Amino acid sequence: MASLPVQFSRNHLSTPYSSASLRRSAFTAPRSFVTVHCSAARENGENGQGLKKSLLPIKELGCIACAVISACTLTMASPVIAANQRLPPLSTDPNRCEQAFVGNTIGQANGVYDKPLDLRFCDYTNDQTNLKGKTLSAALMSGAKFDGADMTEVVMSKAYAVGASFKGVNFSNAVIDRVNFGKSDLKGAVFRNTVLSGSTFEESNLEDVVFEDTIIGYIDLQKICRNATINEEGRLVLGCR
């Protein structure tokens, strides 16, 4: 009997918000274990030797099947890890939230950056000065709060903003390129004279969003128009059919 222990960990996130300060989130990682057992019979004697030879292909298939079952167990028992595996662990830098005030000094439209920007769960509520004109290429923004912030002329290329809050944010004259706004709250945000290319808004809140002189491709427009939270005025400005 052979035993293969497989260890999993699940992370639980605590995300306190404070408008007075930027806080770092804490993680705890309780562990759970799954053990996969694979067995093979022992053959003894002459009859056993003949049986061993005849069953050799079956044993090989059994080994392969055991490996497949182990892999499937690993995948099914850890769905959270599988869903977030493309994201790196939360940065332990105590000043990671303040890095947004500097941005990526060599950031370009293709998402190139000189240092990673981990802004997840940071609070920039009503910030009117520190984010204007910054380059936030490939920034990780999920769970962050930007409500009421002035983000005019920012360059956000390939940023990951799933689940972030941008209520009332001013994105005028900004370049928003290939940003994932999935499940984010953009109620009342302003995209005036904004380049909005290749970005996705699946299950995001676009209520009362201002799309004035927004530069957007036809395919991207079709995708945005499928969002039912856009009001009639917004749909008219965008030209949704």
Mean pLDDT split into 10-residue runs, the chain, 241 residues: 44 39 38 42 46 45 45 36 63 94 70 76 98 93 98 94 98 96 98 95 96 93 95 93 83
pLDDT value of residue 165: 98
**Confidence (pLDDT) at 101:** 95
Q: How far apart are CA 228 and CA 141, in angstroms?
A: 24
Check residue 56 and give its pLDDT: 43
Residue 175, phi then psi, degrees to nearest 5 = -115, 105
pLDDT of residue 187: 98
- In this prediction, residue 113 carries a pLDDT of 59
The amino acid at residue 95 is N
> What residue ranges do the domains of the chain occupy?
115-240
Residue 241: the pLDDT is 83
What is the CA 160 to chain-centroid distance, rounded? 6
In Å, what is the CA distance from 169 to each residue of 100, 127, 129, 208, 223? 16, 10, 13, 12, 21
What does the pLDDT read at residue 6?
44
On whether the CB atoms of residues 35 and 3 are closer than 8 A, the answer is yes
How high is the pLDDT of residue 87?
Answer: 86
Query: 221, 241 in Cβ contact below 8 A?
Result: no
12 class by beta-carbon count within 10 Å (0-12 exposed, 13-18 middle, 19+ buried): exposed
* Fold designation for 115-240: Pectate Lyase C-like (2.160.20)
Both ends of the chain: CA-CA distance in Å? 65
C-alpha to C-alpha distance for 137 and 82, rounded to whole angstroms: 25
Letter string b/e over residues 152-182, b meaning 16 or more CB atoms within 10 A of that residue's CB:
bbbbbbbbbbbbbbbbbbbbbebbbbbbbbb
